[in-house]
Amino acid sequence: MSRTRPEFIDTHAHMNLPEFRLDTVKALHRAEHAGVRRVVNIGTQIDSSRRAIALAEQHEGLFATVGVHPHDASSCDAETIAELRRLCEHPKVVAVGEVGLDFYRDLSPRPVQVEVFKRLIELAWETSLPIIVHDREADEEVLTILEAECPDDMGGVLHCYSAGPDLLERTLALGFHIGIDGPVTYTTAGALRKVAARAPLDRILLETDCPYLAPKGRDRNQNEPAFLPDIAAKIAEVRGLTPTEVAAATTANALRLFPRLSG
Ligand SMILES: [Zn+2]
Ligand SMILES: [Zn+2]
């Protein structure tokens, strides 16, 4: 029996950060071997956004986003926004992000996080790019801001979805996708598996968030894009699908949300 190999897209990786300590070429080779042919590296401030673009220029399968993580919101001024706007013109920049709120670590004051989040939603709108949203322990605030500030046709993803089943409806009503990561494989993640089982298949994206959040059984300190199929396998298990079906659906979702991935 001949079978086409599933193709995956890692829609949220940080090979552009110093914490990703693996050799880029070797990691991409392992990813390719696992069927992960495209990887989106996510900017967290100006330098890492530039680095994501530089990597995308060096490697065909790599793409970039530009944004300011809520941790770095304090460092975001008018000049930062102007530079991000310029970077958005790069053809391999597929989205604005990550942006959002992180009330778990509170590394920037909350009012500043909120201001920067709103300003970057505006930037996504101005540049006609979808948005990648980070939300940690700020579910209500993030959803309220998105509901108030996002135009109807602005595509987006609540990345590393952790809000549980209750807030899923509001996320879907926004037209947003949810990003599912390694934690779906963790023994303790029953609520997230419920979300993975219940969310419409055409709204799910796969993401490693590497080097963080390695799937169960992998090297905890060094996640990489090659481990993405572990996440697909778990989603397939809870939905009664094959991993190939999950790969096909999530890859189609990523290409629809991020048109620049198609080149
Ligand atoms: Zn994040
Ligand atoms: Zn991230």
- DSSP secondary structure letter of residue 93: E
Specify if 175 maps to a domain.
Answer: yes
3 state DSSP class of 16: coil
Q: Which domain holds residue 220?
A: 8-262
Q: Give the per-residue pLDDT at 3.
A: 58
Residue tagged 């079978």 (tokens): 3
How many CB atoms neighbour CB 145 within 10 A?
Answer: 18
3 state DSSP class of 135: strand
Residues pairing with 135 in the sheet: 101
Specify if 12 maps to a domain.
Answer: yes
**Rounded distance from Cα 25 to ligand 1 centre (Å):** 24
Distance of alpha carbon 26 from alpha carbon 40, whole angstroms: 17
b/e burial code for range 229-245 (CB count within 10 A of at least 16 → b)? bbbbbbbbbebebebbb
Of the listed ligands, the closest to the CA of 207 is: 2
Of the listed ligands, the closest to the CA of 20 is: 2
Of the listed ligands, the closest to the CA of 41 is: 2
Of the listed ligands, the closest to the CA of 210 is: 2
Q: Give the per-residue pLDDT at 220.
A: 86
CATH number at residue 28: 3.20.20.140
The length of the chain in residues reads: 263
Does the model's pTM come out above 0.85? yes
Q: Give the per-residue pLDDT at 2.
A: 43
**Rounded distance from Cα 12 to ligand 2 centre (Å):** 6
Q: How many helices (H) and strands (E) does the chain have?
A: 9, 8
Specify if 3 maps to a domain.
Answer: no
Residues pairing with 179 in the sheet: 205
Number of domains in the chain: 1
Residues of the chain with pLDDT under 50: 1-2
3 state DSSP class of 181: coil
**Rounded distance from Cα 165 to ligand 1 centre (Å):** 19
Q: Which helix (H) or strand (E) holds 237?
A: helix 228-239
Specify if 244 maps to a domain.
Answer: yes
**Rounded distance from Cα 1 to ligand 1 centre (Å):** 41
**Rounded distance from Cα 175 to ligand 1 centre (Å):** 19
Q: Give the per-residue pLDDT at 25.
A: 98
Specify if 2 maps to a domain.
Answer: no
- DSSP secondary structure letter of residue 6: P
Specify if 71 maps to a domain.
Answer: yes
Q: Are 93 and 64 in contact (CB under 8 A)?
A: yes
Of the listed ligands, the closest to the CA of 208 is: 2
Q: Give the per-residue pLDDT at 4.
A: 67
**Rounded distance from Cα 212 to ligand 1 centre (Å):** 10
Residue tagged 């993975």 (tokens): 196
**Rounded distance from Cα 60 to ligand 1 centre (Å):** 24
